[in-house]
C-alpha cells in the first residue's frame, strides 16, 4: 500500500474495528476514495475456514487458502494466492508502530505477547527484493530443506520421496534434508534429517542455485510459504497438486511440474530437468512471470482495491 498509494495514505486506527479481536490470521481495513468506500478483510491464515464475523462485516473477503467449494458458495471471496513473510518496516518503525498500535487497540488484544511477537517476527524476514534471483542454476546441485509436521504424514512422505529421489540420482549432488526437531518425536526420517538448521541467508543462496525445488501443500493442505518463495525466485518447481484456489492457474509444464508425489515420478521429473535446459529455463521464466503478475505484494493489493472500488483507484 505504501508503494502504490504513499505512506501518508495509510492510517492505523481502532475506531471502525471494535468488534474484532487481534488474532494474527486476518486484518480488517477500510479503503476510501472520494465518496466511495469499501470494507475489506485480508485473511492470510493457513486454514480454509472463513471467519464468519469478518465475512458478515466486509464487502470483500480476500483470502489465501480458499478451498474450491467455498469460492462457489461465497460471492464476497477473492483468491489472492500463496504468500510468504517479508520485512516491511525498519527496526525504529517497527518499535514505534507496535507501541502506537498497542495503545490504540489494547482493549482488543487478548494476548499481548503474541501481539508483539508478530512485529518482532517481521524483523527477521527478508525484503521481497532479496528474493530476486540473479544466480545461474547449478546443473548438478539440488537443495531442499524442510520441516517434519506431526499432523501431516502425507506431506512428510512426499518430502521424503523428493529427498530420496535426489540422493539416489548419481548425477545430482544433494544438499539439505529435514530440519531436526527438538524432541525428535517423528520417527522414520532420521537418515534424512540434517545435523542442524540452515541459516536463512544460506537457505536463500542454495535455493537460488538449485536446479529445482519441491513444494507440497503443508499444514491443513494450505499453500505453504515455499511455493510463493520459489515462484519469487524464478525456480523450476516440482509440486504435488495444489488443494487451494489460485488467482490464476499454475499450468503443468508451463509454470510448474506436477507430480503424484511418488519417488519414481519425482525421479523422472529430476531427470527431465537435468536433460533439458530448455524445459528448466521455460519453467524458471514463467514461474517468475507468474509471481510478478499475480503474487507481488503491489499486484495483490491493487487487485483487492480494484475489486472493491473499481479500476480507477489511485
Q: What is the pLDDT of residue 311?
A: 67
Alpha-carbon Rg for the chain, nearest whole angstrom, is 21
d(CA 207, CA 6): 33
What grid cell was written down for 225? 510459504
| Residue 304 binned pLDDT confidence (cut-offs 50, 70, 90) | very high
| CATH 3.40.50.2000 boundaries in the chain | 131-295
Q: What is the pLDDT of residue 69?
A: 80
Q: What is the pLDDT of residue 281?
A: 96
The pairing of beta strand 173-178 with beta strand 141-146: parallel
Q: What is the pTM of this model?
A: 0.91
Tens of pLDDT, residues 110-167: 889 989 998 999 899 999 999 999 998 998 999 999 999 988 999 999 999 999 999 9
d(CA 55, CA 79): 14
- State the average pLDDT over residues 196-210: 95
| Residue 251 binned pLDDT confidence (cut-offs 50, 70, 90) | very high
- State the average pLDDT over residues 219-224: 84
- State the average pLDDT over residues 196-203: 94
d(CA 298, CA 2): 9
d(CA 200, CA 41): 31
131-295 homologous superfamily? Glycogen Phosphorylase B; (3.40.50.2000)
- State the average pLDDT over residues 247-262: 97
- State the average pLDDT over residues 242-248: 93
Amino acid at each position: 500500500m505504501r508503494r502504490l498509494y504513499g505512506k501518508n495514505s495509510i492510517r492505523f486506527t481502532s475506531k471502525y474495528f471494535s468488534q474484532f479481536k487481534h488474532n494474527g490470521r486476518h486484518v480488517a481495513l477500510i479503503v476510501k476514495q472520494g465518496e466511495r468506500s469499501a470494507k475489506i478483510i485480508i485473511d492470510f491464515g493457513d486454514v480454509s475456514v472463513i471467519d464468519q464475523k469478518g465475512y458478515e462485516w466486509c464487502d470483500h473477503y480476500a483470502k489465501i487458502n480458499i478451498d474450491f467449494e467455498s469460492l462457489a458458495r461465497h460471492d464476497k471471496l477473492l483468491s489472492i494466492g500463496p504468500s510468504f513473510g517479508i520485512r516491511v518496516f525498519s527496526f525504529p518503525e517497527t518499535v514505534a508502530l507496535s507501541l502506537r498500535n498497542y495503545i490504540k487497540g489494547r482493549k482488543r488484544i487478548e494476548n499481548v505477547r503474541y501481539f508483539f511477537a508478530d512485529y518482532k517476527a517481521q524483523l527477521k524476514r527478508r525484503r521481497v527484493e532479496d528474493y530476486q534471483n540473479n544466480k545461474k542454476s547449478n546443473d548438478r546441485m539440488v537443495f531442499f530443506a524442510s520441516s517434519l509436521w506431526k499432523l501431516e504424514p502425507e506431506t512428510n512422505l512426499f518430502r521424503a520421496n523428493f529427498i530420496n529421489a535426489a540422493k539416489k540420482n548419481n548425477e545430482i549432488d544433494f544438499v539439505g534434508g529435514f530440519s531436526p526437531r527438538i524432541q525428535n518425536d517423528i520417527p522414520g526420517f532420521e537418515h534424512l534429517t540434517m545435523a542442524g538448521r540452515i541459516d536463512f541467508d544460506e537457505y536463500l543462496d542454495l535455493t537460488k542455485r538449485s536446479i529445482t525445488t519441491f513444494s507440497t501443500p503443508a499444514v491443513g493442505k494450505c499453500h505453504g510459504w515455499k511455493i510463493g518463495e520459489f515462484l519469487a525466485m524464478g525456480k523450476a518447481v516440482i509440486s504435488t497438486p495444489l488443494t487451494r484456489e489460485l488467482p490464476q492457474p499454475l499450468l503443468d509444464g508451463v509454470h510448474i511440474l506436477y507430480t503424484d508425489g511418488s519417488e519414481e515420478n519425482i525421479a523422472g521429473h529430476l531427470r527431465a530437468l537435468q536433460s533439458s535446459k530448455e524445459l528448466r529455463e521455460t519453467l524458471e521464466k514463467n514461474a517468475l512471470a507468474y509471481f510478478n503478475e499475480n503474487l507481488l505484494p503491489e499486484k495483490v493489493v491493487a487487485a483487492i482495491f480494484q475489486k472493491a472500488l473499481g479500476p480507477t483507484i489511485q
